[in-house]
Structures are given as C-alpha cells and as structure tokens.
Structure 1
C-alpha cells in the first residue's frame, strides 16, 4: 500500500513536471512567433525611414540646383561615405632651396573592399541631374539604380531587391516583406508602397 502511494506520488510529480515544461515551451513559442513576426515590420520601417530621407535629400538637391544656376551635376559630400577609408599623412622631404620647410600631404589609403565605396570616393560623389533638377542614374540598368541609392543615401542595400523598369524609367527597391520604394528619376516622383497603403510625393 505504501509503495503504491509512493508510486502515485512520483507519477503526480512527473505529470507536474511535464505540464510545467509544456507551459514553458508554449510561452517560448509565443515569444518566438512575436519576435519573428516583428522582423518584416522592422524591415518595412527601415524602408519607410529611407523614403523620408530620400524625400528630404531630393528637396535639398533641387534647392541647391536652383541656387547654383541649374548645373548638370552636383557634388554631394557625405561624411559617412566609405567609413573604412583612412587618410595617411606623409611629410615631404626638405627641399634644397629651403631646408627648414616641410610640407604635409594627405593621401587616401583605400582599405575598403566595397567597389562602390572606392568609386564614390575617387569621383567625389558627383551626381548627375535632369533638366528639372532631379538626380538621375548613370546607366539605365539595375547597377545604375544601386549606385544612385548609394550616392543619395550612403547606405547599403541590405535585404533589398533592386529592379529597373525601362519603359517608365523607374528604379524600384523591394524589401522582403513586399514593402517597396520606387523612384521615377525623370519626374523626381517617389512612391512608397506598404500593403494597401501608398504614399506619393
């Protein structure tokens, strides 16, 4: 009789542990689902922030284009462009004419592996403009759209698919959650799509 009660007690403890582990796994599953469901939302929020940045940068470029006499290109300087590129200062040797004089020269050392970083620093990020003052792409293809994104926003295209539509002259940037940003460089029009919601500027 005592052994039976002890066995029943052990069985109840085992059931209690199984129920506790089940509840713990259920809580972890709910937390995990919430976390993984929020990842696409973070991506869409990121693209939405880039949309706002692109609107501001385009407005700034248009204003500068008007104030500088409507040039065909403008120089954009981004301090964050190519962060891995360092400047090395060298001292030039003393000249025979003036043995006490030294001159300092700064030469860039390209330690970045990213091709766009090197290109933009080498060309000082000159951006081409349309006759209406909107930034345009250098080549009518996906590479041109990628370069324009990098020139304007100075950020990488992480988890964003780029496409170019020749008939409408639109660069389209599509995130994994189907949120997209489209830039029609002939008119300067920027469209942001998120599900059923569309923002047009």
Structure 2
C-alpha cells in the first residue's frame, strides 16, 4: 500500500510539473507574439526618426550654403574624414541654384552617396535602400516594410510615406 501511495505521489508531482511547464510555455508564447507583432511598428519608428534627422540635416546644409555665399559645391562641416571619404570628390556636396544638395550622379549610387554624406553613415542593406527616380528627379529611401523618405532634388521637398 505504501508503494501505491508513493507512485500516486510521484504521478501527481509529474502532472504538477507538466502543468507548470505548459503554463510557462503559454506565457512565453503570448510574450513572443506580442514582441514580434510590434517589430514592424519599431521599424516604422526608425524610418520616422531617420526622416526627422534628414530634415534637420537638410536645413543645416541649406543654412550653411546661405552663410557661405551660395557656392555651387561645399564641404559639410560635420562630415568625418576616414580612409573612404578622404578623396576630395566624395567630401564635396553639389548644390543647385536654389541651395538644395544634389547627388554627384543621377542614379541609385548617387542617392546612396548623398545619404552617406548627409547622415554620416552608409545605407545598410537591412535598413534603407536608396533609389533615383528620373520622372520627378528625386531620391527615395525605402525600408523593407515599405515606408519611405522621398527627397525631391529640384525643390528640396522631403516626403515621408508610411505603408500602413
């Protein structure tokens, strides 16, 4: 009889552990679902922050252009020199007659280089991808979730579009 009680006690202990394990797994599943459902919102927030940074840098570049007497090209004061950007043609930003920065070449690589000059960092493949659109003469920086920052080269207009 004592061995039967011990077996019952062991069985109840195993059932208790199984129920505890199931509850822990359910709690972790709920937390995981909530975490991964917020990832697109976090990515959209990142593009929104980059949009704000882009606007601030564009304003500073235009102010610097005006204070320097409206040159056709200028070197950005905050740009850090490293081995890659030590060449003179990469450190100068071309300006149009209205004072809006222009890429050195009107193609995808030119827009990506313009982003690097503005933001001080290259476009990482997992964040934004730069593209040139000749139809409206603009650079568009698009994230993987579909949000984008558009920069119209003629007017300096910056447009933030969300995918939601």
Q: TM-score range by the shorter chain?
A: 0.7 to 0.9
Task: Check whether the contact 2:112–2:129 (CA below 8 A) recurs between aligned residues.
Answer: no
Q: How many equivalent residue pairs? A: 161
Q: In the alignment, what sits opposite 1:156? A: 122
1:136–1:148 Cα contact (<8 Å) kept: yes
Alignment partner, residue 140 of structure 1 = 106
- For residues 76-134 of structure 1, the C-alpha deviation after alignment (integer angstroms, 9 at most, x for no partner) is 0325x35xx4xxxxxxxxxxxxxxxxxxxxxxxx4xxxxxxx1x222161100111110
8 A Cα contact 1:182 1:190, kept in partner: yes
In structure 2, the residue corresponding to 1:181 is in which secondary structure?
strand
Question: What CA distance in whole angstroms lies between the structure 2 residues aligned with 1:169 and 1:7?
Answer: 79
Highest RCO, 1 vs 2 (Cα 8 Å, sep ≥ 6) = 1
Task: Indicate the structure (1 or 2) with the bigger Cα radius of gyration.
Answer: 1
| 1:130 and 2:96 are equivalent in the alignment | yes
Q: Distance in 2 between matches of 1:128 and 1:58?
A: 13
- Please state whether the residue corresponding to 1:144 is helix, strand or coil: helix
Cα deviation 1:19-74 (Å, max 9, x = unaligned): 11111112222233333333333332222222111111211222222232221111
Structure 1 stretches lacking a partner, 5+ long: 86-109, 111-117, 197-201
Q: Does 1:121 align with 2:86?
A: yes
SS where residue 182 of structure 1 aligns? strand
Q: Residues of 2 paired with 1:43 and 1:187: CA distance?
A: 28
1:106 equivalent in structure 2: none
TM-score computed with the length of structure 1 as normaliser: 0.71
1:175 Cα offset (Å):
1.4
Q: Give the structure with the higher percent helix.
A: 2
SS at match of 2:37: helix
8 Å contact kept, 1:47–1:179: yes
Please list every run of at least 4 consecutive aligned residues from structure 1 whose deviation after the TM superposition is greater than 4 angstroms: none
Structure 2 residues not aligned, in runs of 5+ = none
Contact 2:113–2:122 (Cα < 8 Å) also in 1: no
Root-mean-square deviation (CA, aligned residues, Å) is 2.0
Q: Which moved more, 1:145-154 or 1:122-131?
A: 122-131
- DSSP 3-state at the match of 1:155: coil
Query: Aligned-pair distance for 1:185?
Result: 1.1
Q: With the length of structure 2 as denominator, give the TM-score of the two structures.
A: 0.86
